[in-house]
Chains A and B, each alone.
Chain A
Amino acid sequence: MSLRVLIVDDEPPARERLRSMVAEAGEFEVAGEAGNGEQAIDMVDRLAPDIVLLDVRMPGIDGLEVARHLAALAAPPAVIFTTAFDEYALQAFDSEAVAYLLKPIRAEKLRAALAKAERLSRLQLQEVATATKTAAHRLHIGVRGRDGLKLIPIEDVYCFQADQKYTTVRHQKGEDLIEDSLKTLEEEFAAHFVRIHRNALVNTKYLERIARDASGQHFVHLRGMSDALEVSRRMAGDLKDRFRI
């Protein structure tokens, strides 16, 4: 069975060249082409390719951000970065991909990278994905709805709330259901979010004040959100000290 490759690049000639090179590389099949980051995340969702050839520098959602979204998937594809030139060291994101290729790409280098991706087991791919997640958090939360992918900038998110099965993300433009667990979100966004309760993670940027009701239960008020969120007894003192609210 041939492996399916998704090509992501904002420049048509670059995609065209990769398409013909992948076709010539042997047992690989081009599953599709995406012209920007959003399209790429959406197409990975729909087409479930084995390998993604991902341009680092793209308008809007760039390649690094796309890789972070793919790393959050249950079965992440193998990511191979392609780039013409980058001021920031390529080695910095070397660990976040199976390989990286410099444009213009040589056919034998492409073949070697594809072969490497083919050899990697699911487990090894998971390791790369974990490295990607620890290296940097996503800048957007992806919501997969009926009309495709929606990206919510992380700075617009007030909080994540969990119930039995799903996690709700509450943000400036409403709320959405996502599949990420509160635990992974807490790990990923530790720099900007704080756990206030077993079932809630809030953006520290919006913290306003902590109040207590008659029964002694603590609540936290967030700027821009009308209702208050329950705070566990253990977290209340900690929150007050850390954020002076």
Chain B
Amino acid sequence: MSRPPQPPAVAGEETRRHYLPNFCAASTVLTIVIICEVTALLLALARNEAALGFWSDLGMTSIFLLWIALCGAGLLCLMRDYLSRQSVAVSAAMVLTMTVTLVMVVSTITHYLASGFLIENAHWSFLGRNAGITFVVTALALRYFYVTHEWRHNVGLQAKARVHALQARIRPHFLFNSMNTIAALTRSNPARAEEAVLDLAELFRANLNEKRNQIALSEEISVARTYQRMEQLRLGDRLRVDWKVDSLPSDALVPGLTLQPLLENAIYHGVEPRQDGGVVTVTGEFNKGMITIVVRNPLPAANLTMRDGNRLALANIKERLDLMYGERATVKAGRFDEEYIVTLRFPFTAVAAGT
């Protein structure tokens, strides 16, 4: 079986991002300021310049370092595009050379301005020591950026791997039962059998499509409803799903397979094991820029074996929401009285046009 040609990778998602942070961003500048202050503190603690006193020494050193660092950040911001095209080693060497050169220049100017009353050392000794310190601190900072970046990258990769695992995870039980239903309908109700085949095809497409990491909420709801139709054929009036999702913005951005696995779990754990079935309720709310989706199902009667495998899907959905929305997304699940309730909460972001 041949695969259709893949469209070009989406920028930012597929291409690997450079380990150097964006020096134009305020958060990076703050990181640099903190690195400077820590270095200044270390230098002031290590030196014993009685003439100036600790606080004045720290102040002067801070001003000196911040000057260099902010100039450096500005330069790196300008060079960003160029640097991001270089390999790790080359860009690291360039950043090191640039900062050391910058330090030498600023040091020379400072020495020229302040020689005699603030700096006792000879010009070359002052320059050499500053260059050495800068080299070590910059190298450490680069290492820090690199390790942090690798860590983030790995977290992203793992999440992606889990998406694939989830996508491959159509329950075999569901597949074969659906096939059986279609086989039965083919005799008694060919029109309905045709509908069922189309629905099943749609579900598989949703499960197999790798480009569905970011989709519109309306699309995800439609997949979940298709899944419901399929199960409805099999379970008949034992299954009822109460949809209250009209208030949700249809263009909200969600990771694919967010709602459908929750509905699947609710039916598999809550409705199928009950002889007289049950009602699954899906409620959506949109309030102050936050979207809340609640899926609730009845629990199977006591002393019946609880089917397992629920946690995996939940953890997976949580990770993918985290990846998209960070800490602002929450997933909660638990038993409340006679029900099992899962609550998803995440900020509203409109899906980009054309995706």
**Within 8 Å of chain A (Cβ to Cβ): is B85?**
no
Query: Which one of A13, A14, A16, A60 has the greatest number of beta carbons of chain B within 10 Å?
Result: A13
B177 touches A84 (CB 8 A): yes
A214 to B22, CA, bound (A): 92
> Which of A11, A57, A85, A102 touches B181 (beta carbons < 8 Å)?
A11
A59 touches B234 (CB 8 A): no
**Within 8 Å of chain B (Cβ to Cβ): is A20?**
yes
A85 to B183, CA, bound (A): 16
A14 to B178, CA, bound (A): 10
A191 to B234, CA, bound (A): 38
Please encode chain B, from 179 to 213, with 1 for each CB lying within 8 Å of some chain A CB and 0 for all others: 11111110110000000000000000000000000
Main secondary structure of the interface of A (DSSP, over half): loop
Measured between beta carbons, the chain B residues less than 8 angstroms from A17 are 180, 183-184, 187
A60 to B275, CA, bound (A): 6
> Which of B176, B184, B185, B300 touches A102 (beta carbons < 8 Å)?
B176
B303 touches A153 (CB 8 A): yes
Measured between beta carbons, the chain A residues less than 8 angstroms from B16 are none
Known: A59-B272, A59-B274, A59-B275. A16 touches B172 (CB 8 A): no
A86 to B179, CA, bound (A): 15
Identify which of residues 141-175 in chain A touch chain B, using a CB-to-CB cut-off of 8 Å: 153, 155
**Within 8 Å of chain B (Cβ to Cβ): is A237?**
no
A2 to chain B, nearest CB (A): 22
A13 touches B185 (CB 8 A): yes
Known: A84-B173, A85-B172, A85-B173. A14 touches B274 (CB 8 A): no
**Within 8 Å of chain A (Cβ to Cβ): is B304?**
yes
A153 to B302, CA, bound (A): 11
Measured between beta carbons, the chain A residues less than 8 angstroms from B184 are 13-14, 16-17
Query: Which one of B177, B185, B300 has the greatest number of beta carbons of chain A within 10 Å?
Result: B177
Known: A85-B173, A104-B183. A60 touches B188 (CB 8 A): no
Q: Whose C-beta in chain B lies nearest to the C-beta of A14?
A: B180
**Within 8 Å of chain B (Cβ to Cβ): is A224?**
no
**Within 8 Å of chain B (Cβ to Cβ): is A103?**
yes
**Within 8 Å of chain B (Cβ to Cβ): is A36?**
yes
**Within 8 Å of chain A (Cβ to Cβ): is B52?**
no
Please encode chain B, from 143 to 159, with 1 for each CB lying within 8 Å of some chain A CB and 0 for all others: 00000000000000000
**Within 8 Å of chain A (Cβ to Cβ): is B5?**
no
A60 to B176, CA, bound (A): 21
B324 to chain A, nearest CB (A): 32
Measured between beta carbons, the chain A residues less than 8 angstroms from B42 are none
Q: Whose C-beta in chain A lies nearest to the C-beta of B189?
A: A13
A167 to B273, CA, bound (A): 32
A103 touches B304 (CB 8 A): no
A28 to B109, CA, bound (A): 105
Measured between beta carbons, the chain A residues less than 8 angstroms from B303 are 153, 155
Q: Whose C-beta in chain A lies nearest to the C-beta of B177?
A: A84
Measured between beta carbons, the chain B residues less than 8 angstroms from A57 are 173
B275 touches A14 (CB 8 A): no
Measured between beta carbons, the chain A residues less than 8 angstroms from B180 are 11, 13-14, 17, 84, 103-105
**Within 8 Å of chain A (Cβ to Cβ): is B235?**
yes
**Within 8 Å of chain A (Cβ to Cβ): is B233?**
yes
Please encode chain A, from 70 to 93, with 1 for each CB lying within 8 Å of some chain B CB and 0 for all others: 000000000000001110000000
A168 to chain B, nearest CB (A): 23
**Within 8 Å of chain A (Cβ to Cβ): is B236?**
yes
Identify which of residues 1-51 in chain A touch chain B, using a CB-to-CB cut-off of 8 Å: 11-14, 16-17, 20, 36
Please encode chain A, from 221 to 233, with 1 for each CB lying within 8 Å of some chain B CB and 0 for all others: 0000000000000
B233 touches A13 (CB 8 A): yes
Known: A59-B274, A60-B275. A14 touches B173 (CB 8 A): no
B179 touches A104 (CB 8 A): yes
A20 to B187, CA, bound (A): 9
Taking beta carbons and an 8 Å cutoff, which residues of B are in contact with A?
172-173, 175-177, 179-185, 187-188, 233-236, 272-275, 300-301, 303-304
List 9 extra interface pairs beyond A60-B274, A85-B175, A85-B176, CB under 8 A.
A11-B177, A11-B180, A13-B180, A17-B184, A59-B300, A60-B273, A85-B173, A103-B177, A104-B176
Q: List 23 A-B contacts (CB under 8 A).
A: A13-B180, A13-B184, A13-B233, A14-B177, A14-B180, A14-B184, A17-B183, A17-B187, A20-B187, A59-B275, A59-B304, A84-B172, A84-B176, A84-B180, A85-B172, A85-B173, A85-B176, A85-B177, A102-B176, A104-B176, A105-B180, A153-B303, A155-B303
Give the 6 A-B residue pairs with the shortest CB-CB distance, closest first: A17-B184, A84-B176, A13-B184, A104-B183, A103-B180, A104-B180
